[in-house]
A and B are shown apart, each in its own frame.
Chain A
Amino acid sequence: MNDVKLMSENNNSSKRVIVAMSGGVDSSVAAALLVEQGYEVVGLMLRLWAEQGGAANRCCTPDAVNDARRVANVLGIPFYVRDYKQVFKSTVVDFFIDGYARGVTPNPCIVCNRDIRFDRLLKEALSLGGDYLATGHYARVRTATDGTYQLLRGLDPTKDQSYMLYTMTQDRLARLLFPVGEHSKSDIRQMAQDKNLPVFNRPDSQDLCFLGPGDYRSFLQRNAPEVVQSGPILDTAGNQIGEHRGLAFYTIGQRKGLGLSAPQPMYVVEKIVQTNSLVVGTQADLGQSRLTARQVSYVSGQPLLEPIRIKAKIRYKAKETEATLTPLAEQRASLIFDQPVRDITPGQAVVFYQDDIALGGGTIEQTAG
C-alpha cells in the first residue's frame, strides 16, 4: 500500500471503498485487506456479457456471484450486483471481434480496464460516495516526491498485471487501490484460507472471461464466422504454398498447425487482411527491430518530448526487452529494440517500463525489420 493512502485506521474508517468483486481469490482478499485496514468497504460485482457454457471458474457466472456474496457475508460488507452486459458486449466483445476482422490480435482486457472497470465502474463508485475503487489486480500505486501518482508492477513477478493497466491516468490512480499488488499470489491464497474466505481454493481464471467452450478460435467461429474465412498461405516471395483456415486462427510467430511440408520450419510472419493471406517465413524472417504504436498514453499525463531508454513488453507474458522510445506526432511513438524481437503482433499493447514503473504504452500498429 502506498504511503499517502495507507493512513491510520481512524482515518480510513471515514473513507468508503467500493471493491470490484469477481468471486475469485484476489478480489476477495482485496476486500478483506481493506476491511482490516479500517475502510468502510462496499462489494460490487459486475455482470458482464459472456457466451454460455464457459469454464466453471469464470467471472460472473451464478456460481461466482454466490461465491462473492458469501465472501461479502463473511466480511460483513454490503454487496451489490450491477448489470453491465450490454455495455461490455458493445465495448469489449465487439472490439475483440472487430480486431480479428481487421487482421490484428486485440487485447480486450486492456479495453475493459480502460473503458469499463476504470471508467464506467469508477464513475459509478465515486457516485456512490466512494473515496476509492479497489480491484484484485497485481499492481501498485505510489506517490512520487513531486506528488504525481506512479503505476508500479505488482510485487509478484509471475502475476504482475501492470501491463493491463497502462491506460491509467493521474485522475484514475488518485482513486484506485490495488491491495493484493503488495503480495505474492501464494500469500494471497494463504490469506484467503487464514481468513476463512470460502473461495481460497478456487482455481485461477485462465482465459478471456467471455469465452464459451473452447478457445477464442471457436468463439469466433460461433460469433463472427465471417472473420474466419479460409485463404492462401504465401511465402515471403508471394508464392502460394498452402491454405489457411482463417487468419484469426493464427498468431505471429506460430509454427505448429500450418499444415505445410517445407524443408525447414516455417513461422507466421504477417497477416494481410486485404487479400486474406497468411505470410510464412523461416526463423530468419521472424525478428523485428522496430515498431510503431498508436493511441500512446502516459500514466504521468505528460507527453514525452524526446527519446528515452526503456524496457518494453510487447505482450502480457513476454520478456521485457531494452529499447529506445521516440515520440511521434498524433499520439504515436516508435520503438527501436537493441536486439531483434520475435513475435511482435499488431493489435497487442506495448507497455513501457523503467525499473518497476509502468510509464505508459500504446497499441502496436506496424513492425519493421
Chain B
Amino acid sequence: MPTKRSIYLDYAASTPTDPQVVEAMLPYFTDIYGNASGAHAQARASAQAIDDARHSVAAVLGCDPEEIVFTACGTEADNLAIRGVAWAKKQLGEGNHLITTPIEHHAVSHTFNQLCERFGFEQTIVPVDSHGVVDPHAIAAAIRPETTLISVMYANNEVGSVQPIADIGALARSRGIAFHTDAVQAAGYESLSVNSLNVDLLAISGHKIYAPKGIGILYVRRGTNLLPTLTGGGHEMNRRPGTENVPYIVGIAKALELVERKRDTENLRQRELRDKLIDGVLNNIPGSQVTGHPTRRLPNSASFVFSGCEADPILMHLDLAGIQAASGSACTTGNPEPSHVLTAMGIPHELGLSALRMSVGRQTREADIDAVLEILPDVIEKVRQLNPTYQMMS
C-alpha cells in the first residue's frame, strides 16, 4: 500500500517515544537487569536507577520521592487511587460516599460504578456545563458527612477542557476529604505542582508524554490512607507490589523531565498551530463548531462537531489521505453512541455522532495544519452528501 504521507494528529491518544527516552531506557534491558530487591551489584544498579527516577519525578511534581508510586499504566494509577482510598476510609468507618463528574475517563468512571454497583458505595456525579467544565460550588453542594473521596479529571481527553482543580482541591482539603485527579491528559501541558493544585492523589500515564505504553505514576500525598489493590511483595513502599519495571520507570522519569523542560515553548508553539486549525475549520466549514471550553483547554486539543455528519466516514476519508485523527464516539460494542462527555455537555445525540478530535504534538508542523485545512472541508462535504437527512435539510 503506497502511503503518500502521514500526518499524525492523535497525540491525545498516544505519542511516539522520545528518542532520548529510548536511549535512557536501553541500558536497563541488557546491561543493568538485576532485581532491585537483591543484595548485589546488579541489584544495586537497578535500585539506584529507580531511586533516581523517583527523585526526578518528585522534582517535577514538587513532592517527596516517597510520595511517588510507579504503576503499569494510567488506568492502574487511577484504580489504585480510587479503590485504595475508598476501601481504606470505608474500613476506618469514615464513610462510603464518593463524588465525581460525568466526563471522567472510564478508568475512573467504571471504577466508581463497580464500587457502587457491586460493593455498596454511593456516588454523586456532579454535572458539567456546556463547555465541559465542573463548578466547584456544585461539588461543595454534593458533599455529605460520609463523603470520603472526590475525583475530578485535570483536563478532559476528548474536548480538552481544563478543570478548576486547585479550587476543588482547596475545598476538599477544608472538608477533610481525599482528592484525586486523573492528570493523564494534562501532563506535559499543565502544571503538575501537587501543592499548588491541592491534590492528594494524581495519576499520570507514560505514553501521553513521549514515554512508552505500559508505565504510569501515582502521586500519593503523605498520610493518605491507601489499601493496595495488588498484594505481593513490599515494593513501592507497600503500595504497589510487583518487581519494578526498571527500564520503563527510567523512561517515564526521563520523559516527564523532558516535557516539563519544553513545556512553555511547546505550549506556545502547539497552541498557535491548534488555533490555526480551529480558526481554519470554523471559517471554512459551515455547520462546524468547537466542543469544549473556548480558552480554558489544553493547548494541543482541537475538537469539533459537524452537523449532518457521521464521524467514522470522516476518519476513513482522512486516513486514506494519510491524516490520522480520532472520533469522539465509542463504538466498540455495537450501536454508535455519542461519547458520554458530549452527552454530559448537552450536545444533541445526532451532532454528538459527528465528533472529530485532532490533537497536535511535538512533531506537528504548520504544513500539516495547512494540509488538513485543504482537505477537511471537502471531506465534510462528501460525508454530508451521503447523509439523506442532511440533503433534505439543505
Contacts and interface: CB of A to CB of B under 8 A. Distances in A.
B382 A127 contact: yes
B1 interface: yes
B386 interface: yes
Contacts of A80: 312, 316, 319
B335 A124 contact: no
Interface in A75-103: 76-78, 80-83, 85-86
Interface string A29-49: 000000000001110000100
B379 to A, nearest CB: 9
Nearest to A35: B1
Contacts of B340: none
Nearest to B331: A83
B334 interface: yes
A318 interface: no
Contacts of A129: 320
B88 interface: no
B372 interface: no
Q: Is the interface of A mostly helix, strand, loop or mixed?
A: mixed
Interface residues of A, number: 19
B336 interface: yes
A129 B317 CA distance: 8
A195 interface: no
B285 interface: no
A308 interface: no
A222 interface: no
A127 B336 contact: no
A85 B337 CA distance: 12
A78 B312 contact: no
A123 interface: yes
B2 interface: yes
A128 interface: yes
B385 interface: yes
B335 A78 contact: no
Contacts of B2: 40
Interface string A51-90: 0000000000000000000000000111011110110000
B320 A42 contact: yes
Contacts of A128: 313, 316-317, 320
Contact of A124 (B1, B313, B336): B313
A76 B320 contact: no
B383 interface: yes
Contacts of B334: 47, 85
B69 to A, nearest CB: 35
Contacts of B312: 80-83
A128 B386 CA distance: 11
A85 B334 CA distance: 8
Interface in B357-384: 382-383
A358 to B, nearest CB: 29
Contact of B383 (A41, A42, A77, A127): A127
Interface in A228-256: none
Contacts of B313: 82, 124, 127-128
A85 B1 contact: no
Interface string B293-322: 000000000000000000011001101100
A30 to B, nearest CB: 17
Interface in B186-224: none
Contacts of A40: 1-2
Interface in B1-49: 1-2
A78 B383 contact: no
A41 B320 CA distance: 11
A78 B336 contact: no
A120 B387 CA distance: 10
Nearest to A123: B386
A124 B313 CA distance: 8
Nearest to B385: A127
A83 B336 contact: yes
B138 to A, nearest CB: 35
Interface string A127-148: 1110000000000000000000
Interface in B227-272: none
Contacts of A85: 334-335
Contact of A78 (B320, B382, B385, B386): B320
A156 to B, nearest CB: 30
Contacts of A78: 1, 319-320
A83 B353 CA distance: 12
Contacts of B335: 83, 85-86
Nearest to B329: A83
Nearest to A83: B336
Contacts of A82: 312-313, 316
A355 B276 CA distance: 63
Listed residue (A47, A124, A128) with the most chain B CB atoms within 10 angstroms of its CB: A128
A356 to B, nearest CB: 35
A83 B1 CA distance: 25
A40 to B, nearest CB: 7
A41 B2 CA distance: 11
Contacts of A120: 386
A124 B314 CA distance: 11
A41 B1 CA distance: 8
Contacts of A41: 1
B386 A76 contact: no
Contact of B386 (A42, A77, A86, A127): A127
Contacts of B336: 83
Contacts of B385: 127
Given A127-B382, A127-B383, A127-B385, A76 B1 contact: yes
B157 to A, nearest CB: 22
25 contacts: A40-B1, A41-B1, A77-B1, A78-B1, A80-B312, A80-B319, A81-B312, A82-B313, A82-B316, A83-B331, A83-B335, A83-B336, A85-B334, A85-B335, A86-B335, A120-B386, A123-B386, A124-B386, A127-B382, A127-B383, A127-B385, A127-B386, A128-B313, A128-B317, A129-B320
Please list the 10 inter-chain residue pairs (A to B) with the smallest Cβ-Cβ separation, ordered nearest first: A127-B382, A80-B316, A83-B336, A76-B1, A127-B386, A123-B386, A124-B386, A85-B335, A82-B312, A83-B331
Given A80-B312, A124-B313, 10 more contacts: A80-B316, A83-B312, A83-B335, A85-B335, A86-B335, A120-B386, A123-B386, A127-B382, A128-B316, A128-B317
Interface of B: 1-2, 312-313, 316-317, 319-320, 331, 334-336, 382-383, 385-386
Interface of A: 40-42, 47, 76-78, 80-83, 85-86, 120, 123-124, 127-129
